[in-house]
Homo-oligomer: A and B are copies of this chain.
Amino acid sequence: MEGTVKCSANYVPLTPINFLERSAIVYRDRISVVHGDLKFTWAETRDRCARLASALHSLGISRHDVVAVLAPNIPAIYELHFGVPMAGAVLCTLNIRHDSAMVSTLLKHSGAKVIFVDYQLLHIAEGALGILLKTSSKTPKLVVIPDQASSSSRVSDMYFNNDNLEYESFLASGRPDFEVIRPHDKWDPIALNYTSGTTSSPKGVVYSHRGAYLNSLAAALLNEMPSMPVYLWTVPMFHCNGWCLTWAVAALRNVTAKGIFECIAKHQVSHMGGAPTVLNMIINAPSVDRRLLLGKVIVMTGAAPPPPHVLFKMEELGFNVTHSYGLTETYGPGTVCTWKPEWNSLPPDAQAKVKARQGLHHLGMEELDIKDPETMQSIPPDTKTRGEVMFKGNTVMNGYFKDSKATVDAFKGGWFRSGDVGVRHPDGYIELKDRSKDIIISGGENISSIEVESVIYSHPAVLEAAVVGRPDDYWGETPCAFVKLKDDCNANADEIIKYCRDHLPHYMAPRTVVFRELPKTSTGKIQKFVLRQKAKDMGSLSRTSRL
């Protein structure tokens, strides 16, 4: 419009760096991070992040260079979430369960110029660099992070046989008055996240400063975070950058129910997050490990559909669970199951079922739909017709790094295709039926592994369960359940199968039940691809007629 002008006074690219700059002013003397005996204020955290950016800059890191980190939830990984973008660079958080071979593959694909490594994981990183050296003369510079929980510690000299750097010395070499390199453009990348865990071919998902900014605000609003939440970091920060909350708001190296209850009591935790397996750990904690909750603790859950039974028990303990669903490609949460006050009068198990649905689109997301992937027509809200869950909005990834084909495929038709199968309820809420690849097809019928698992979880002796397809010469596949029982409980396969047949259509009940530990990713997701391989190794079940 005539008379208006775009200038530095009224236009600034959106970036989460802004949140840290503001917290360093508004909350400068308030605690930012607590880790064991170590505490920082927001002013200190800002100072450390600026030094980090400065030191990276001195090392030759410039705009759009990739900086990797291999570390659990320690203060350094929090600082890297700001310090790396403040140097104009892109943060690549690596999964700490990876072995040296996988780390070397990802370092190569990302072209990372520096890697920050927790002292406990140094052998993995050095192994990876060793592999890289065989094919390339250029390997990333390595910075070792000492044990930050004990203030006296420095990494022992043994770590410095090469020309590795040490994290605290590296920071000390930087200047706190470093002029922060801000994004030129709203599209500038901030993070590169390799999808991992349930799939075998990792892809590098690129996040922008703008998307991270918007998703952070949306997440804080939807989780009803006050100005000064006490956030317990149970979600690994390397997983979708802690669902973007790294940029919205302290951390546990190892997640145990005892540790969680202790932290809640000690720090008056108000908010935390966790996959359903973490919730399961909490509800099954022995009474000696439990503490009474004195205040309301808001728990964000997601990563896998939570069984209604688990939600019910969490609420009984006094937690207030918010259920979100999303993917690495949607900056973590892409939907939220918004609670309606009228549901408070439903019986508890009905409440849990309502809450186990994935809900409606997240505040930062523009649109959520379930469509026929061929015709791109929306499916009717009849709770029956299945389609693919699709997203559109500013909190959808920029694309897959160096993989244009995968990017184009994912965005075909102008929507991000999640690969997940769902239905829509008459109230508009969506419910996941399965990841496409987790659907069991038996005799031409689609069986939702989630539905079978929900029933098994409600069995009083069951601690954890996962259902996959077992190859079958006649049926194609039949449901195969992997079950872990509670410590003091007993049940045999026939009992579990009978229980399922009592609660499900017969064709959906498992034909095979295997009792064992369930393999999990570091975020607590059950690795179904491992179980699918186990089921495959069992071979076909003998032919049987359908019951």
Contacts and interface: CB of A to CB of B under 8 A. Distances in A.
A5 B407 contact: yes
B217 A222 contact: no
A228 B2 CA distance: 39
Contacts of A5: 398-399, 404, 407-408, 411
B4 A206 contact: yes
A12 to B, nearest CB: 5
A12 B394 contact: yes
A9 B415 contact: yes
A204 B2 CA distance: 11
25 contacts: A1-B398, A1-B401, A3-B402, A3-B403, A4-B398, A4-B399, A5-B398, A5-B399, A9-B391, A9-B416, A10-B396, A10-B399, A10-B411, A12-B393, A14-B394, A22-B360, A22-B361, A22-B363, A25-B361, A26-B360, A30-B340, A186-B186, A217-B221, A221-B225, A224-B224
Contacts of A338: 26-27, 227
Interface string A325-363: 000000000000010110000000000000000001101
Interface of A: 1-12, 14, 18, 22, 25-28, 30, 64, 90, 186-187, 189, 192, 204, 206, 211, 214, 217-218, 220-222, 224-228, 338, 340-341, 360-361, 363, 366, 391-394, 396-404, 406-408, 410-411, 414-416, 428
A334 B396 CA distance: 30
A169 B394 CA distance: 37
B224 A3 contact: no
Contacts of A11: 394
A147 to B, nearest CB: 31
Given A9-B392, A392-B9, A394-B14, A4 B401 contact: yes
A510 B22 CA distance: 40
Contact of A397 (B10, B214, B396): B10
A394 B10 contact: yes
A3 B414 contact: no
A211 B10 CA distance: 9
Contacts of A3: 204, 206, 399-404, 406-407
A301 to B, nearest CB: 17
Contacts of A2: 401-402, 404
A135 to B, nearest CB: 20
Contacts of A10: 211, 392-394, 396-399, 411, 416
Contacts of A416: 9-10
A305 B218 CA distance: 31
Contacts of A186: 186
A433 to B, nearest CB: 21
A13 B390 CA distance: 19
Contacts of A8: 392, 414-415
Q: Which 3 A-B pairs have the closest CB atoms?
A: A4-B399, A4-B398, A10-B396
A414 B7 contact: yes
Contacts of A22: 360-361, 363
A314 B400 CA distance: 54
Contact of A396 (B9, B225, B402, B410): B9
A402 to B, nearest CB: 5
A12 B214 CA distance: 12
B12 A392 contact: yes
A14 B27 CA distance: 28
A482 B408 CA distance: 69
A225 B396 CA distance: 26
Contacts of A400: 3-4
Contacts of A363: 22
Contact of A1 (B90, B224, B340, B366): B90
A400 B221 CA distance: 32
B7 A411 contact: yes
A298 to B, nearest CB: 11
A428 B228 CA distance: 18
Interface centre among A7, A187, A392, by most chain B C-beta atoms within 10 angstroms, is: A7
A187 B366 contact: no
Nearest to A10: B396
